[in-house]
Amino acid sequence: MTAPRADDSAHRAPAPRRTREGAVVVGPTIWARYRPGLLYGLPLLSVLLSPFGGIAIQTWRSARLHAGHDGLVEQLLAATGVQLLLGAVGLWILCGLWAVVPLVLTHRAVLFDERTGTLTLRRGLRAADRADLAQVRYATGDAERGGLGLIGLTSEPGAAESAERQWVVPETGWDDAGFDGLRVLQAAAGLRPAPPRSALVAEARRARRERGNRELAARLGMPWRAEYAHDEAAFQAEFDRVRRVLGGRAPRRDGDPAP
């Protein structure tokens, strides 16, 4: 989950996505999640499966020729390269249509209208719930992909029962723009905005490297120094030296593990 830092003035200004009406989008849009697969993943898959598409086109062309049709289209499709190319394009379009349907049905995001101070929870293509900005009790989310965002809401003013509800926003850390939407909501609700996603992701990666380096140092019996947490080169140099000491190829210093 995001953790606030003391110096918010050093953070860059949020640049969230907005709808055509100007509402801030908290979390990724359908297109933001669909675009990488459509432009990178599906074309590669289509190229790998292009022989099957080519076979389908060749079968269709043969049926047309047997039926007595030998026009320009049949002549253009005679080349194997053309069949493979059109087969790949056809599979790309077909797979793209198949992929977008479950993405649309399972998509969830929050729209924040800064002018009216209203929030709308979108599930798929419909509005599932609404709330006012004054009802926001907390808003937090993971900066890395695969994480969740949580928005806690108090009951509406004048409600008979005091109850709290929670909105779950998947993939708040999908990209910088989606996470910036959460930062805008935090600032508008009077909460301390989270640092930029890039800073949080970099810190998470550094923490993972530190844990890995600590495990390596513990295996060798190598003393851990505070500088290693932020200086990868210093740790690697000392780690290599200790390995040489344990291998008998370097002189031992005070504090080094015994070979």
Hey, which bits of the chain come out as E strands? 24-26, 108-113, 118-123, 126-132, 136-141, 148-153, 165-170
For strand 118-123 and strand 24-26, is the pairing parallel, antiparallel, or unpaired?
unpaired
pTM for the model stands at 0.77
25 has pLDDT over 90: yes
Q: Of 71-80, 117-126, 177-186, 215-224, which range is least confident?
A: 71-80
% of the chain beyond a pLDDT of 70: 93
Structure tokens belonging to residue 72:
């320009």
CB 144, CB 203: distance < 8 Å: no
Domain ranges of the chain: 1-194, 199-246
Helix (H, G, I), strand (E, B) or coil at 82: helix
CB 27, CB 151: distance < 8 Å: no
Q: Is 209 exposed, middle or buried (0-12, 13-18, 19+ CB in 10 A)?
A: middle
Give tens-digit pLDDT for 62-106. Answer: 888 888 887 888 888 888 889 899 999 999 999 999 999 999 999
7 has pLDDT over 50: no
Q: What share of the chain is helix, strand, coil (3-state, %, to 5)?
A: 50, 15, 35
Higher pLDDT, 1 or 164: 164
